[in-house]
Structure 1
Amino acid sequence: MMAVRKRSENCGPKSSKVSFPIAMATPRLLYSTVLARSFHSCRSKVSQKWNCMHRIKYSTAVAVEPPLDSYASLSAGNKIRGYTILKVVPVSELNLVSVLLSHDETNAKHLHIARNDKNNAFGVSFRTTPMDDTGVPHILEHIALCGSTKYPVRDPFFKMINRSLSTFMNAMTASDWTLYPFSSQNKKDFTNLMSVYLDAAFNPLLQERDFRQEGWRLEHKDHNDPSSPIIYKGVVFNEMKGVFSSQHAIFQEAVQNNLLPSHTYGVCSGGLPLAIPDLTWQALREFHSNHYHPVTPDHLDIIENSVLKHYNKLEQDTSVPLQPRWAEPRRVKVSCRHNEMLPDSNKQTTVAVSYLLTDVTDVYESSVLSLISSLLVNSETAPFYHSLIESNLGSGFAPVCGYENSTRDTWFSVGLEGIAEGSVEQVLNIIDETFKKVANEGFPQERVDALLSQIELSTKHQTSNFGLSLMMSLNTMWNHDADPTVGLQVNEIISRFKKEMAANPQYLQEYVKKYFIENTHKLTVEMSPDEHYEEKQQELEAAKLKSMVDRLTAADREEIFTQGKVLAKAQMEEEDLSCLPTILKTDLDTVGVKTRVDTTTLDGVEVQLCEQPTNEVVYFNLLTDMADLPSHLKPFVPLFCSVATKMGAGGLDYKQQSQRIARYTGGLSLSHHISSSPSDLDMVLQAIHLQSFCLKENITPMFELWADIFNKIRLEDVGRLSMLLKMGVADLVNSVSHSGHQYAMRHSASNLSEANRLKEVLSGVTQISFLKTLSENDNQDRIASYLKDIAQHVLNKNSLNLFGVISGALSMLSLVQ
């Protein structure tokens, strides 16, 4: 389960995503009980529920056995099992039909997506709008998963893991919604999980014991020793302390809270550690009754019988109003802890400027602003990459950067992290001047064309988790009562955009002037480390704890001791899990799916070609052997993989290379690949994995880009190399606070096998330490020399041991050759 806040679209060349209606924005913060999320969820880089029927929404993406043509018989106004069809919208570019329905009795809304996709997905979404920092929606998400009326066992989600064939199970809390999604390819399993999810969402037990376990409690440090100190405990309490140990989390929270201060976005939905102990069990139960109520998907009869027939329409306004606009810009300064892992202790200040933009329910306006955001910050050819990143004032873009469409009002941020405190005003001047330059000069047409090509490719590129991605991308706009089917119609949005561009050559420049240069709802946030930050936070927590403990009576203390022992005992008790549904052997498919792979050899290299209905997209994968790479070069492999497509190649400098990659492909990437044989742990495959994809019509330029990298890679620009190294180190260091458990597991396993040792060297804390030392080393020429040696070893035909192309036509073999 996870608490999530959607994050602004990633800045810079590491992401080519556009926050289009169906293009997922990257989650900003994920807090989750299962994984490690960064906002407000159970354990987990976006949850809210509604308590009125017309606010509760169920969204589904389900594989359909009847052909999509059969949905043509449905039309608005038709009645189905207590529902009225509001809209039927075929979307040819996504190969689906969307059906929007309303439940007659409760006004609950349901979106059904019909598509020939075996991976069925289902989700229940609630609008959850907290008005304080106690983290009530986040804690509620945790507790809802601690047992329900029909399934009264601890953590039924976790218990279902070994009873299910699910391809995804979790829950997540964002700033203003909570979502309970799952997916499965097995029909019986899908029905089982739907039953568990619906009962958890609408009939949770919400026991006080679970509130104390998942939220917060006072308890003796040693629950068996009444003389030990009384301290704060609780899953979410400790989770959020971990979240806000991150400089990024502090900065992101400060930006949203101060840019949108008038309503729910002015508070932390995940919960601030110092505010969480103010939440009571009674307040949590009231929040559930006011925000958790139903809506619907396919399987209408299941939802009607198990949920909706027990509810009446509930008229309670949980809508989020638009943020009142400011007449003057504002400025805020916040503090954070000092990060001793960063290379330069004197450059740990972050500054960003944020602009409030438009209503997220205005799909076209939001889409245009998303496009402009991508043109401003994404790729090495973006104006802010040139003016900010290449200034070498900082280590990278600020953690909040790009277009943010996960709130009612969308917004844009841009700035730098890893700068000297004295450079703040210089950065702010650069931001202002860059906007003025763009407003005067506009964007090169080739960049606009490349971005539109990326959108076309992303529409055709459909992954195995298509339903879940669709659910997440539509959830915010639907949460605010927009028509979700509008967000599916990408071609219509692009068509209108092209017409506007053709009619007005100043179209994008006018947007830049309106929303950035003339926009007075502008917030500047500056964050600098305070060497006493941790100490001050500990003092505030200690003072709050002392205030609560000092008020305890002798009876209170006895009750705390007793409750601690009861909770500890309950956590260790074995449970009867027979009430949980499971799948039987008869529910399994008896015939496996066979995929034909044609294998041949070209000049001594094994080539695999797989014919699949890829929607005119070609996928390329290649493994190049690095087992014989000298040991002193192997720690440099992650750096080599990171920079190999960002330094230029052949006749292209790095900017020209970036532009061609964006124009013709979905990106070129390299990564190390380490795996051991299941029968012999000492037999380890050591390789570099190269991958890319493109539209069928662009396969030639895609392979030309790879050919240049193989034959004429440029690694001599030590200035460029140094900048990329520093940016990479900053990203890795900042990942430790939210992925610390993964680094710890990798490090602890490093002595168990050769494969694990290599994984630690290449992607563990050992690698972070190694790169940090490199970034502090002035001998960049030596580093460049080592990278050239790696290129000579791995970027040649003799190192290739597997080459794969997945396409719609085997006739591509000649192109591959």
Structure 2
Amino acid sequence: MSFKKLRTRDIPAMQAQVQEYEHEGTGARHIHLATDDAEMVFLVAFPTVPDVSDGRAHILEHLALCGSARYPVRDPFFSMLRRSTAHFMNAMTYSDKTVYPFASTDRADFFNLLDVYLDAAFFPNLDYLDFRQEGWRHAFEGDKLVYQGIVFNEMKGAFADPVRALDGGIAAHLLKGTTYEVESGGDPLEIPSLTHEALKQFHASHYHPSQAVFMTAGGVDPLAVQRQIEERVLSRLSGRAPRMLPQLAPAWTAPQAVDVAIPANEHGVQIAWLLGESTDPLPLYEAQLLEAGLLSNAASPLTRAMESAGFGRPSAMNGADAGGRQIVFHLGMEGLTAEQVADARQRIWSALEGTARDGVPHAVLQATLRDLRFHQREISGGRTPHLLRRLLRAIPFEMYAGDIMHGFDSEDVLAELEQRIADPAYFKGLAQRLLDNPTRLDITVVPDADYFPKRKQIEDERLAALQASMSEAEKQRIMDESAALQERQRRVVNNDVLPRIKPQDVHALPRPAHALPQAEDGVIAVSIPSNGISYARVSYDVSGFEEAAWPWLQLYVDVVGELGMGDKSYEEADAWRQDRVPFFDVSLQAVQAQQGDDRLHLHIDFYAKGLREQNGDIAEVLSETIRTARFDELERLSFLIDSMVEDTRNNLADEGDSYARLAATAPLSPVRAFENRVKGAAALPFYAGLQTQIESEEGLAEIAGQLARLHQRIIGSQRLVLTAGVEDDAPALAAMLELPAATAPAGKPVMPPAPGLANAGLHITAQVNHCFAAWPVPGMAHPDAPALAVLGEILTNQVLHQALREEGGAYGGQAGYSPSAGTFVMMSYRDPRLAATYADFARALEWIRGAELKQENIEEAIICVIQDLDKPRTPYADVMYALDQQRQGVTEDMRRRYREGVLSCDAARLKAVAAAWLDGKPHSRAAFIGNAAQDVAGLEIVDLKALAE
């Protein structure tokens, strides 16, 4: 039996065709998105619907990638990361499904990976010791019994997010009786209840062809993919069973109320409604219309009600959540005191009642439908390939028994909604239905300062009780298992069974960067195949601004788009921009010169994009914002600053890895020094000081005056206008811009002072650590740069992955070279250890000094570097890459020499650069420390909370 084509649909807006297939024997589904892209994308997805929070779906995702029938090596997934030129490989566990995707531009590589992925998903070994490594295990640290395991520690880190805690608490009540009630990733307090046998049974019931959805996209032949699926999987697994579906939560006859505790400093209020199914496009888009009408801009009724309260701020969860089978709609406020909770709830409810009575402007709803069409047409960039992003957006329609075509094209529904929103009563009715919906959960969010200590106490008490009851034989069994696991982890692996791409198989020359035309009168206009999307960016050179102005520049970009302009209040300005363009942003960009003295180039970018029919609107939004921005709305400014500060304080633990990374690298690199000054731990006192200033009218007025003066200084700086679009749109769009003339000469890029090396332990109570060590090294123009890049990969592949992740239990650990920053870093992420991790960093350098480096391992490291160099870029991202390279001073000749150096790297070169730049050389250390009572390896403790207050 074979796959049968069921339907096709052309989607002109995407320049694509959707093809739907079903396997006649098993019912396995294959959806192909045919495009002209050179990129080829594959995924296989399974419904995973656990009814317990022991993390079985998540641990199975990890374990499936640890060896299979055809590829019985210990770690084929991570091995293929260095034997493939794929620019994306991953696996993801969602609340109700598990997805295994990859993307490559090389046909041989694509089918190599397809073979490995199919065998991993359908025929994994599910080895017992791998289960203990990836999931959880008992171990002894000295004479104390502890838990270890990669997923166990990953989820300890994930639980640091207050929003995750709130979301889980809401789901446990609103979606009770469904898979969404439990923590699919695994609650660390529940993970140790999972047995190896239960995990194997979960695989057998969920990972069968009758449950599988295969999806492909791009320039790959779907029939060739099907032949490989049939040969490798369907010829060996038969049978057909109904698709497992997440349960539907029942409707209520009356609202319910509950308290939810989260790891935060403030109270909050949240109201959550259960709406229709997310695969029904009408309720799905109605929920998005509801979100837009109530919340989309500062003039929206619910946003206005919450932001003008004089206390608190809108919740980070507000809006429609269509991530599960049923849509959940959220309205809430955070940043409250206990006394303000009732007032906040009443304020939300009254605003919702007012909206049901008065409605919202028709233009808001029109803009929402326009934006939905825009996102369907846009070729978007980012870390996830754009074709894969399209598949991931569509897959719920397939997984929840909806119509997959609606996952790619709902123009018929959008056209129907165009008609409905013309009647003002339509949106009023949506708001009234929300008011009348009895399936509503009223949540009081309670801050719990002891959230982490209480969880640790539960864990410690369980372990202590277990240890006290253990026989000597049981203790010996744990030690024997630990020894057996370590022996397995350290066993030399023969990866010859795995396919691989070798350095001689890749292009010897780099793909040329987009050839930007010379700027004419400060304008670069570029024609690109953008599928009818236009882009405009006005970039002001602020490189000469003094270091004291840096945090003010960051504050400026964070608030200028949230304030008024000209004769428009902030509410009117926000609504006006939303009415005209689907995307507007102001950002602060920093790049470090790759030649000369490493000076820092800074730019403030005003950026908008939209459909080509909106070119006049794009130009007007940018021009008016730049020319007429105002900073006299003091109450609004106070609200914005207070919200920023409180959000930062509540997320110190969740952002700990970023703070540690910047603290370690700031002394070594101008660009990292800048980032630390505006976004890292060094920025915390600045924002704390701002919060103190806004408590007085004089202080607030001084902040407003400083921003107003800064604005004039910015828009008087030298600028570059960059526009891009189809055909002749770009020059026409540039000509529409009306911008003030530059009044200042070009500023000379600054060179930040280099402080002493870091040795900081940034502490706030949490359950994991993040460890960093950083060395100053030369940039891309230096002859040693290519070998430094390869060295980072070989240290990761041969030492740190095993030491930090497999043996140490950290979720991630690696070494890496950043030519754009001139740093070489070793790091660990969500790490239960600290001192032992720094010892492993030192051991990695000892290893490179004495190891006999195998040619195969060097070639694998080379391929890892090439993967990053050869990642495909969207047409607009290609333009921005070229501009970024130009600003760094990176020439095509430099890129060619760098690639040649990577491809020709050998053992002698690797040892030489390690000795020259790393081994025994001074370096910075910084870690985020969740528990200050542990051995902190000589780091000087810095209280993050104190910095932020």
TM-score if structure 2 supplies the norm length? Answer: 0.73
Matched residues, percent identical? 27
Deviation sequence 1:120-139 (CA, Å, 0-9, x none): 21111100000111111011
CA contact 1:681–1:753 (8 Å) conserved in 2: no
Secondary structure (helix, strand or coil) at the match of 1:139 reads: helix
5 Å matches for 1:304-453?
A: 304-315=230-241, 318-339=244-265, 348-394=266-312, 396-453=313-370
Secondary structure (helix, strand or coil) at the match of 1:694 reads: strand
CA 1:742–1:571 in 2, change beyond 3 Å: closer, same or farther? farther
CA contact 1:243–1:737 (8 Å) conserved in 2: no
- Name the aligned partner's letter for residue 632 of structure 1: A
5 Å matches for 1:485-504?
A: 485-502=405-422, 504=423
CA 1:729–1:157 in 2, change beyond 3 Å: closer, same or farther? farther
Deviation sequence 1:372-410 (CA, Å, 0-9, x none): 12221121121110111221321x322322101122221
- Distance in 2 between residues matched to 1:733 and 1:160, nearest whole Å: 40
5 Å matches for 1:61-210?
A: 82-210=2-130
CA contact 2:608–2:622 (8 Å) conserved in 1: no
Aligned counterpart for 2:572 among listed residues 638, 641, 656? 656
- Name the aligned partner's letter for residue 150 of structure 1: R
5 Å matches for 1:257-656?
A: 257-294=172-209, 295=212, 296-297=214-215, 298=222, 299-315=225-241, 318-339=244-265, 348-394=266-312, 396-464=313-381, 465-502=385-422, 504-514=423-433, 516-584=434-502, 587-588=505-506, 597=515, 599-603=517-521, 605=522, 607-656=523-572
Aligned to 2:661: 745
Deviation sequence 1:305-326 (CA, Å, 0-9, x none): 1112111124266322321111
Task: Give me the CA root mean square deviation.
Answer: 2.1
- Name the aligned partner's letter for residue 724 of structure 2: I
CA 1:240–1:422 in 2, change beyond 3 Å: closer, same or farther? same
Secondary structure (helix, strand or coil) at the match of 2:403 reads: coil
Structure 2: segments with no counterpart, 5+ residues? 216-221, 736-949
Deviation sequence 1:334-382 (CA, Å, 0-9, x none): 223454xxxxxxxx01210000111223222222222212221121121
Report the more deviating stretch, 573-582 or 182-191.
573-582
- Name the aligned partner's letter for residue 666 of structure 2: S
- Distance in 1 between residues matched to 2:516 and 2:339, nearest whole Å: 61
Q: How big is the shift at 1:209?
A: 0.9
Q: How big is the shift at 1:629?
A: 1.1
CA contact 2:26–2:239 (8 Å) conserved in 1: yes
- Distance in 1 between residues matched to 2:151 and 2:730, nearest whole Å: 53
- Distance in 2 between residues matched to 1:426 and 1:786, nearest whole Å: 34
CA 1:601–1:682 in 2, change beyond 3 Å: closer, same or farther? closer
Secondary structure (helix, strand or coil) at the match of 1:380 reads: coil
CA 1:337–1:365 in 2, change beyond 3 Å: closer, same or farther? closer
- Name the aligned partner's letter for residue 565 of structure 1: A
- Distance in 2 between residues matched to 1:629 and 1:276, nearest whole Å: 52
CA 1:621–1:162 in 2, change beyond 3 Å: closer, same or farther? farther
- Distance in 2 between residues matched to 1:637 and 1:579, nearest whole Å: 54
CA contact 1:454–1:663 (8 Å) conserved in 2: no
CA 1:558–1:490 in 2, change beyond 3 Å: closer, same or farther? same
Find out whether 1:721 has 2:637 as its counterpart: yes
- Distance in 1 between residues matched to 2:28 and 2:500, nearest whole Å: 29
Find out whether 1:711 has 2:615 as its counterpart: no
Aligned to 1:13: none
- Name the aligned partner's letter for residue 32 of structure 2: H
Q: How big is the shift at 1:739?
A: 3.2
CA contact 1:129–1:176 (8 Å) conserved in 2: yes
CA 1:333–1:789 in 2, change beyond 3 Å: closer, same or farther? same
CA 1:675–1:476 in 2, change beyond 3 Å: closer, same or farther? same
Secondary structure (helix, strand or coil) at the match of 1:179 reads: strand
Deviation sequence 1:633-685 (CA, Å, 0-9, x none): 11111110111222122333222221232222232212222222233462322
CA contact 1:248–1:734 (8 Å) conserved in 2: no
5 Å matches for 1:216-235?
A: 216-222=136-142, 228-235=143-150
Q: How big is the shift at 1:562?
A: 1.6
- Distance in 2 between residues matched to 1:400 and 1:789, nearest whole Å: 35
Q: How big is the shift at 1:287?
A: 0.5
- Distance in 1 between residues matched to 2:729 and 2:156, nearest whole Å: 56
Structure 1: segments with no counterpart, 5+ residues? 1-80, 223-227, 340-347
CA 1:153–1:381 in 2, change beyond 3 Å: closer, same or farther? farther
More helix by share: 2
CA 1:595–1:759 in 2, change beyond 3 Å: closer, same or farther? closer
CA contact 2:527–2:729 (8 Å) conserved in 1: no
CA 1:463–1:748 in 2, change beyond 3 Å: closer, same or farther? same
Aligned counterpart for 1:679 among listed residues 595, 607, 616? 595
Report the more deviating stretch, 447-456 or 178-187.
447-456
CA 1:146–1:737 in 2, change beyond 3 Å: closer, same or farther? farther
- Name the aligned partner's letter for residue 563 of structure 1: E
- Distance in 1 between residues matched to 2:99 and 2:508, nearest whole Å: 33
Secondary structure (helix, strand or coil) at the match of 1:324 reads: coil
Q: How big is the shift at 1:721?
A: 1.1
CA contact 1:596–1:611 (8 Å) conserved in 2: no
Q: How big is the shift at 1:584?
A: 4.2
Aligned to 1:20: none
- Name the aligned partner's letter for residue 325 of structure 1: A
Report the more deviating stretch, 259-268 or 735-744.
735-744
Secondary structure (helix, strand or coil) at the match of 1:388 reads: helix
- Distance in 1 between residues matched to 2:441 and 2:464, nearest whole Å: 37
- Name the aligned partner's letter for residue 253 of structure 1: G
5 Å matches for 1:725-804?
A: 725-777=641-693, 778=695, 779-796=699-716, 798-800=717-719, 802-804=720-722
Q: How big is the shift at 1:176?
A: 0.6
- Distance in 2 between residues matched to 1:632 and 1:518, nearest whole Å: 53
Secondary structure (helix, strand or coil) at the match of 2:87 reads: strand
Deviation sequence 1:8-48 (CA, Å, 0-9, x none): xxxxxxxxxxxxxxxxxxxxxxxxxxxxxxxxxxxxxxxxx
Secondary structure (helix, strand or coil) at the match of 2:95 reads: coil
Aligned to 2:772: none
- Name the aligned partner's letter for residue 461 of structure 2: A
Q: How big is the shift at 1:792?
A: 2.2
- Name the aligned partner's letter for residue 459 of structure 2: E
Deviation sequence 1:701-728 (CA, Å, 0-9, x none): 3222222233221012221111111222
- Distance in 2 between residues matched to 1:689 and 1:574, nearest whole Å: 51
Aligned to 1:14: none
CA 1:543–1:812 in 2, change beyond 3 Å: closer, same or farther? closer
CA 1:587–1:463 in 2, change beyond 3 Å: closer, same or farther? farther
Aligned to 1:694: 610
- Distance in 1 between residues matched to 2:106 and 2:167, nearest whole Å: 39
